[in-house]
Amino acid sequence: MKALTVSKAVTALMLAGLVLLPLYSQMSGNIFILTLFTRIIILALAAASLNLIMGFGGMMSFGHAAYLGIGGYAVGMLAQEGVGSGFIQFPVALAASALYALVIGALSLRTRGVYFIMITLAFAQMAYYVASGLARYGGDDGLTVYKRSDFSGLIDLSNRTQFYYLCLACLFGVIFLIWRIVNSRFGLVVQGLRSNEQRMQAIGFPAKRYQLVCFVISGTMCGLAGALLANNTDFVSPAVMYWTRSGDLMVMVILGGMGTLFGPIMGAVVFLLLEEFLSQITEYWALIMGPLLLLIVLFGRGGIMGMLGRAGRG
Amino acid sequence: MAEPLLRVEKLVRRFGGIVATDNVSLDVAAGELHAIIGPNGAGKTTLISQLTGHLEPHSGSVSLAGRDITYLPAYRRCALGLARSFQITSLLLDFTAADNVALAAQAHAGTSFRFFADARKERSLRDAAHAALDRVGLAHRADVLVSKLSHGERRQIELAVALASKPKLLLLDEPMAGLGVTESQGMVKLLQELRKEVSIVLVEHDMPAVFALADRISVLVYGRVIASGDPAAIRANEDVKRAYLGDQHVVTHHG
């Protein structure tokens, strides 16, 4: 019982901190922290979506950043073509991500293990090069989004605080959905497949069908993160799809704790804060960051969530 | 005579030059407990794998209640009423005993594309799981993770999982493997009960158990059925003695 309370207490503190952050920002006049945390929340959303397939579903996708790009380009390209309404941009971003996930998933799920990792990576790199080739939409240089998605007065994305809360609401909404999914019939099947695919087939579950649907749900969620990210940076470029970004998302999930509900948020917060502060101290920050992450992954089985659990027990 | 529940006809499966299943034909009638025995390497597991759909035969056919299932994938056969246990225990280790069994019940209780309601709160699934666990005498271990259960208990869970899908035919691949004497006796007793409810194909090394349980026995040697009949007939069969029981006899005497 005590083990639960330690990780629960830390999680609750973190969530409360996220909710109250704009207040602090306003009182202290520190705008930078609000911008930083908006980015953290968006990437936490992406990490949470990756955790659904990686942590709960056992599908090690190494191409998850592709959805950040697809969601982002959906917003950017529509804006460029004069469609500024968020009511159109966001559904298109989600639909495009879902479609990409459906095609890539159907092909990738024919493979297992290392091959699955490599093929998802290969498809994401393909998406990266396709985006680099879009001359009309900036190609290599990326695409500036001159106007944020317009939700006709319902919510103003150019207002920092409103945008922050929109992102936070999306994150909480996605976590809530994942919580429901993971405990549903569908979620139990997907986790069963992670645990023992042969057994699940033998009791009558066609593996691929369930994994593909899970893959699509995850991709769609990450597409939402992409659409938010483009609004946050007012810019989208092929770089958001690069494989290192996919790697970052994986690290966030593993760091926070795979297959836990709030682990990815924890992972994103710690990872991005570390990156921020270490890079202020030294330009060789990656030299500190790398070994640090390695240590946590090697010795802190179950990531931060796992360590908190053990701290409570021991 | 009525259509047999399971009919295997002229099944052939080769691995390179080795014929692991060599023109195997056998019938299992409804209500029957049919044992398949044979020395190591006789091709018992290869045969079972073709019945469950984990391996495709090169020729021949398998039909269940008159329906050709030779090339159906494993999960479709399961839907038609074929359940199996694994020779090497194959369960969801990080799930509880109840979850393992409830998932088997869930596979046969409507669609699993339900994303929102808590599946662990579905009464009918939980009840089915508890009934199956109770059947194998493990109701008191329902909420324990399978990874924390003993080998013997896992063997019983294997059986409960197979039962939870309410099968017409149960394929048991060495359910006694690795069990101690008392555990084996318990398992024999349990199978004696189960056979009243469901037809069973039993692959087993434990000869006393096989002869105590089986209505009919088929003897497999080098992929071939060399004899098939009731226990008394098999015991008296000269080919079987020479090829199988006799071998063991020789081995025990010289070893």
Our measurement of the distance from residue B103's CA atom to the centroid of its chain's CA atoms, rounded to an integer in Å, reads 19
- Interface probe for B, chosen from A174, A177, A185, A210 (most Cβ of B below 10 Å), is A185
Asked if A195 and B93 come within 8 Å (Cβ–Cβ), the reply is yes
Please tell me which of the candidates A192, A195, A204 has its beta carbon nearest to residue B78. A204
pLDDT at residue A141, as a whole number: 93
Question: To the nearest whole number, what is the mean pLDDT of chain B?
Answer: 89
pLDDT at residue B245, as a whole number: 56
Per-residue model confidence as pLDDT tens digits over A135-179:
999 999 999 999 999 999 899 999 999 999 999 999 999 999 999
- Interface probe for A, chosen from B87, B91, B118 (most Cβ of A below 10 Å), is B118
- Interface probe for B, chosen from A199, A209, A210 (most Cβ of B below 10 Å), is A199
pLDDT at residue B86, as a whole number: 87
d(CA B51, CA A5): 50
Asked if B118 and A183 come within 8 Å (Cβ–Cβ), the reply is yes
Per-residue model confidence as pLDDT tens digits over A169-223:
999 999 999 999 999 999 999 999 999 998 998 898 999 999 999 999 999 999 9
Q: What tokens were used for A294?
A: 């390695």
pLDDT at residue A2, as a whole number: 54
Q: Which residue has the higher pLDDT, A299 or A138?
A: A138
Asked if B103 and A196 come within 8 Å (Cβ–Cβ), the reply is no
Print burial letters for A167-190: b (CB count within 10 Å at least 16), e (below 16): bbebbbebbebbeebbbbbbbbbb
Per-residue model confidence as pLDDT tens digits over B83-119:
988 888 899 999 999 999 999 999 988 899 999 999 9
Contact criterion met (CB below 8 Å) for A97 and A120: no
Q: Taking CA atoms, what residue in B is nearest to A207?
A: B75
Separation in Å, CA of A57 to nearest CA in chain B: 13
Asked if B103 and A184 come within 8 Å (Cβ–Cβ), the reply is no
pLDDT at residue B252, as a whole number: 43
* CA neighbor of B15 nearest in space, from B221, B205, B219, B223: B223
Which residues does A172 contact at the CB level (< 8 Å), separation at least 6? none
- Torsion region of A139: left, alpha or beta (phi above 0 gives left; psi -120 to 50 gives alpha): left
pLDDT at residue B254, as a whole number: 39
Under the banding of pLDDT at 50, 70 and 90, the label for residue A3 is low
Q: What is the ipTM of this complex?
A: 0.88
The parts of chain B modelled with pLDDT lower than 70 are: 1-2, 244-255
Per-residue model confidence as pLDDT tens digits over A40-64:
999 999 999 999 999 999 999 999 9
- State the Cα torsion B157-B160-B162-B166 to the nearest 10°: -170
Residues belonging to chain B:
255
